[in-house]
């Protein structure tokens, strides 16, 4: 299922879940997140790791190419608030 997502989509999704479900101000002591939601966070964390590892494998052959900047880190496209 997750493999069907585009690589960047996976990363954006996992970052999104980690930010929205695990961070942010808590006004009430009673955040109504169920066990299923905690699983969502876990999905997010494993997604990002699998994504990075996938990227490493995909990038490995490119690194032998001389003169290029293939070793530049993957930078997610800006998600402009506008």
Partner 1 sequence: MLHLYCLTAPRSEGVAAGVRGLAGAPVRVVSTGALDAWVSEHAEAPHPVTVELVREHDRVVRAALAWEAPLPARFGQDFPSEGALRRALAEREAALARALERVRGAVEMTVRVLLADPAAEAEKGAEGAREGPSGPPKPPAAPDDAQVAKSAAGREYLSRLRERQRREAELRHRADFLQTRIARAVAGIVLEEARTPSRPSSRSLTISHLVARRALSDYRRALRSFVDGEPGLRVLISGPWAPYSFTEPRRE
User: Residues interacting with partner 1, by CB under 8 A?
Assistant: 11-13, 15-28, 30-34, 36-37, 40, 45, 48-49, 52-53, 55-56, 71-76, 78-82
Question: Could you tell me if 73 and 39 are in contact, meaning their C-beta atoms sit under 8 angstroms apart?
Answer: no
Of 6 and 28, which has the nearer Cβ to partner 1?
Answer: 28
Question: Could you tell me if 7 and 75 are in contact, meaning their C-beta atoms sit under 8 angstroms apart?
Answer: no
Distances (CA, A) of 28 to 6, 24, 25, 50: 36, 12, 9, 34
Of 37 and 65, which has the nearer Cβ to partner 1?
Answer: 37
What is the closest distance, in whole angstroms, from the C-beta atom of residue 21 to partner 1 in the complex? 5
Of 53 and 65, which has the nearer Cβ to partner 1?
Answer: 53
SS3 at position 23: coil
């Amino acid at each position: 299922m997750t493999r069907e997502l585009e690589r960047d989509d996976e990363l954006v999704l996992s970052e999104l879940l980690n930010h929205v479900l695990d961070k942010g101000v808590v006004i009430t002591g009673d955040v109504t997140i169920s066990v299923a939601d905690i699983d969502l966070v876990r999905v997010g964390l494993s997604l990002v790791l699998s994504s990075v590892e996938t990227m490493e494998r995909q990038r490995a052959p490119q690194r032998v190419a001389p003169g290029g900047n293939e070793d530049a880190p993957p930078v997610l496209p800006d998600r402009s608030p506008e």
